[in-house]
Structure 1
């Protein structure tokens, strides 16, 4: 049986099988099956499609309500990636580019962002100039918790040098209104990249560099969910972090 609602939404929005397939990283034939045969995509794919179409995922695919209950999948989960290396830096940049209220970053170093996108500071300046609050928390290279992380990764002093390099990258932003830069000595369980009500959470795995650990993409969905838990953890670390002096 055709999915009449999906077909109507696609038609009114000028979507084709090919364009929706590109937006959801699937084959156009899969989209054709959703529309014409009433097939229900995997939840992660359905969430991507609903986001692209600007529709409620359960209105497009009511069967997902039962599937979500059976699998206990959070409604805030947009996507799950096996490792950070699977995500191009453009995923992070795109997230920041659309922020209007806040950008929060909690990492040890994450120098891959500046290396892959040299205009990152310019982007953050632009966001701040538009009224977006930008907060960056980097690892303190001299802190024993940060140094212990390097030992666990079997990377030695590498993490310390990355923290110093990250600080060097962000220092030009110290005098920019709306941008705050701090260093922390927290034992991080996750690196956080927040833009308004979306967040990329890079899990930390003992003995593994963050680029090899999973990432989940969250979108806030009401109070008290996963998103708020991570947002509160950012706040807790931020309050203990030290402002970087010029």
Structure 2
């Protein structure tokens, strides 16, 4: 898959395949393959390129973070991040961008998605147009469980307003073929971000805000594993959620 993050960084700064290749001391065709084919360069080369571009190495090539972060006792574990704040935005965006069949998002608000990646709705429209089935479940601002989460995290009514704002972000997608938006009032034990056979699980810790809680990246490797457990959990919540309609 193309490395869209690298393509954007290069375009914004005016780098061409040839000019970056000259600075990094590689063949221009290598840079072209990094961008168009999503190839990952050797670590030393990648470090030089990231420094020249002024970009985080792991944001450009998440594989290096995964290689360092994953200490898998399970074949499904791809990476483990101590805090969501420590996971690069590209870990979320690249996974969603590569989805071909399904995207599922289960959150209360997760405003960071739209704040850090303003093209999120465009990306979801593009994936839906290519045949992806997309299901987004955000928190019902009026539910007891959402209010309780605000008290537990000492965030008060702020979490209710964040749920409302999240729904405002997603409202332009209502009615788009292939995209379904719902609200739910369940206890949110984990926020889930699924794309085909990959899922990012943001575990929730009592009294701790989501960005300080850990995230693990799972890849489905067979039936009945951890991935399937979270996928089944999403389906259970989805069955209780309320569809969001166009405002009259």
Same fold (TM over 0.5): yes
Distance 2:215 2:40 in 1: 32
Residue pairs, 1:8-87, within 5 angstroms: 16=42, 18-19=44-45, 23=61, 24-25=63-64, 45=67, 73-87=73-87
Q: Which runs of 5+ in 2 are unaligned?
A: 1-38, 48-56
Show the counterpart of 1:216. 216
Cα 1:171–1:74 change in 2 (3 A) is: same
Match of 1:205 in 2: 205
Q: TM-score when scaled to structure 2?
A: 0.74
Please name the residue that 1:170 is paired with. Answer: 170
Residue 175 of structure 1 deviates from its aligned partner by: 1.3
C-alpha displacement at 1:15, in angstroms? Answer: 5.7
| Gap change, CA 1:74 and 1:158, over 3 Å in 2 | same
* Structure 2 residue aligned with 1:148: 148
- CA deviations on 1:63-96 (whole Å, 9 max, x unpaired) are xxxx97xxxx111000100000001322211110
- What is the TM-score normalised by the length of structure 1? 0.74
Residue number in structure 1 paired with 2:233: 233
- State the distance in 2 between where 1:84 and 1:15 align: 26
1:88-127 equivalence runs, <5 A:
88-127=88-127
Superposition RMSD in Å: 2.1
The number of equivalent residue pairs is 195
| DSSP-derived class of the 2:201 partner | strand
Q: Secondary structure at the match of 2:194?
A: strand
- Change in Cα spacing, 1:46 to 1:219, as seen in structure 2 (3 Å) is same
The residue aligned with 2:21 is: none
1:163-196, CA deviations, whole angstroms, 9 ceiling, x for partnerless residues?
0000000000001000000000000110000000
Instruction: Supply the distance in 2 between the matched residues of 1:14 and 1:76 (Cα, whole angstroms).
Output: 22
Task: Give the unaligned 5+ runs of structure 1.
Answer: 1-12, 27-43, 49-66
Closer, same or farther: CA 15–84 of 1 in aligned 2, 3 Å:
closer
1:108–1:14 Cα change, 3 Å: closer
Runs of 4+ in 1 over 4 A off after TM superposition: 19-24
Question: Hey, what does 2:18 align to over in structure 1?
Answer: none
Distance 2:40 2:154 in 1: 52
Aligned to 2:9: none
